[in-house]
Amino acid sequence: MKINAKDIASGALLILIAVVGLWLNQDHNLGTARRMGPGYMPMLVFWAQLAIGIVVFAMAFFNGPDPMEKWTGADITMLPVSIAVGTLVWWIAPVFGSFFESTYNALGLGMLAGFLVICYAAGWRLIGYICAAMCIFSLLLEKGGLMLALAATIILCAFAEPEHRQRPLGVLGLTVFLLALCWWVFIDQLDIRVAVWPLQY
């Protein structure tokens, strides 16, 4: 069998995140396709991610061999350090204000801290920044509104790729385009009830 170790790891990670996401999303109202609740889009995304993860995992047994790259000392060290920092921030998050007294918000802050710390290691940098961007979106959406949450997410994702950091005008242009597109699709066309600007309800 021609096993692709990278695809096995990637598929397993996608499946794990999708399963955890679907489990956490059970507390949210789904609504309908015409009147989406706060849990509808995450549910669709997690089911799509689960399907993609299963396909990637299954294909890994036929498109190899492609072994995993050897971890450096920084890659190994930063994994437990980031978990420890994330856990610590999660525990002390309520100290930062009433917003973080909610379990989800405290966990989101802890995950954000952990993912930013792991970005110190080059091997984790790409996935670290992408996951940190998802955390910052979830933390900013309620109080900061859709536009601020999206802008912060796009800009933080740009840090994952050195080439993007060298082209700030390209990142700015992409940010403006995606903000306009998301406003048109989700606010204007689908009429999703979410704050668009900070503290707008």
Does residue 125 have a pLDDT over 70? yes
pTM of the predicted structure, to 2 decimals:
0.74
Does residue 50 have a pLDDT over 90? yes
Does residue 83 have a pLDDT over 80? yes
Give the three-class secondary structure for 194.
coil
State the helix-helix crossing angle for 122-158 and 73-92, rounded to 10 degrees.
50
* Dihedral in degrees, nearest 10, Cα atoms 191, 194, 197, 201: 110
Does residue 133 have a pLDDT over 90? yes
The pair phi, psi for residue 132, each rounded to 5°, is -65, -35
Instruction: Convert the pLDDT of each residue in 154-191 to its tens digit.
Output: 999 998 888 887 888 989 999 999 999 999 998 888 88
What string of DSSP letters covers 83-122?
A: HHHHHHHHHHGGGG-GGGGSHHHHHHHHHHHHHHHHTTSH
Q: What is the mean pLDDT of residues 61-68?
A: 79
Q: What is the mean pLDDT of residues 110-121?
A: 95
User: What is the structure's pLDDT at 201?
Assistant: 47
